[in-house]
A = this chain, B = another copy of it.
Amino acid sequence: MSIANTFDKGLKLLELFTYERTSLTLREVSEMSGLSKPTALRLLNTLEVNGYLTRDKGKAYCLGLKFLELGNFVAERLDVRAAALPHMDQLLFMVDQAVNLVIRDGLDAVYIEKRETAHPVRMYTRVGRRAPLYSGACPRALIAFLPEKEREDLIDKLTIEPYMETTPKDKAELRERIAQERAQGYTFSRGELHDGTAALGVPIRDYTRRVVASLSISGPQSSFVEDKHPYFLKALQKAAADISADLGYTRGRG
């Protein structure tokens, strides 16, 4: 597979912009990318002309509004997301905790939608964010409820890195954890993606009965107390069932 060198270099520049580093000057881009200033400039110019970058009052570049547009095309293409949105709003209203929707992309889980409480303490899960499949209630719900063969094939391909205290630390522990979660019908995590947060996750299925996404509610452990779990879980499962139904999933056989 051959790729276009210059094009590749240019695209890589976009990776320099992160949630924390929202704007970069030519010098910074040049230094961070290892490209000479003229080269970096030409590439940045090209991005700017095409609307992928804008410049703030100074001369610093930031990601342009075009990404909003294209990001939205992607979002709108995702059927699960469209089906889930109203139910996520409803769920947020009922539990007053952050609500997340995740799909699988290769060996990653990708957050494709979220709804947040207006509380001062926010969960900061971002749309587009990636996480390992084994870490966190929502990601893990994507593998836990797959048919055995697929599930094992997937776990085989994973590389498990110790992530947080409470994250499964090897495949044996992951399998054990998943087996239990499968038995109880939902996934649970404490502090697997961020310290001090907890989450409950359940799968979403479409008309083929395959798990196509997972839905979770998460919040700071302080507000996520044990005795609320049954209520949370009920609301969560109801929402997931409604979304699945909207996607044509039927419970019975055949």
Interface residues of A (CB under 8 A from B): 1-4, 6-12, 14, 17-19, 22, 41-43, 45-47, 49-50, 52, 54, 62-77, 85-86, 89, 105, 110, 112, 116, 118, 126-130
The A interface, classified by DSSP as helix, strand, loop or mixed, is helix
Are A74's CB and B64's CB within 8 A? yes
On whether the beta carbons of B67 and A71 are closer than 8 Å, the reply is yes
Residues in B neighbouring A70, C-beta threshold 8 A: 14, 17, 63, 67, 71, 128
In whole angstroms, what is the CA distance A68 to B67 when docked? 8
What's the least CB distance linking A126 to chain B, in Å? 5
For A110, the closest partner residue in chain B by CB is B65
Indicate which residue in B19, B45, B86, B128 contacts A1 across the interface (CB closer than 8 Å). Answer: B45
| Contact for A47 among B11, B22, B76, CB less than 8 A | B11
Q: How far is the CA of A13 from the CA of B63 in the complex (A)?
A: 18
Knowing A2-B45, A3-B49, A110-B65 are in contact, say whether A73-B10 is a contact too (CB < 8 A). no
Q: Which of A10, A18, A41, A74 has the most CB of B within 10 A?
A: A74
Task: A62-B77, A65-B110, A69-B128 are known; give 12 further A-B pairs, CB within 8 A.
Answer: A2-B45, A3-B42, A6-B6, A7-B47, A8-B50, A22-B73, A54-B105, A68-B127, A69-B129, A69-B130, A71-B71, A72-B128
Compute how far the CA of A251 lies from the CA of B6 in the bound complex, rounded to whole angstroms.
Answer: 52
Shortest distance between the CB of A67 and any CB in chain B (Å): 4
Q: Which of B9, B50, B118 contacts A11 (CB 8 A)?
A: B50
Contact B76 A19 (CB under 8 A): yes
A45 to B7, CA, bound (A): 10
Contact among B6, B46, B64, B77 with A22 in the assembled complex (CB-CB below 8 Å)? B77
Q: Name the residue in A43, A70, A110 with the highest tally of chain B Cβ atoms < 10 Å from its Cβ.
A: A70
- Give the complex CA separation of A127 and B85 in angstroms: 15
> Are the CB atoms of B52 and A11 closer together than 8 Å?
yes
- Cα A86 to Cα B85 in complex, Å, equals 16
With A69-B129, A70-B71, A71-B71 known as contacts, the answer to whether A4 contacts B10 (CB < 8 A) is: yes
Q: How far is the CB of A130 from chain B (nearest CB, A)?
A: 8
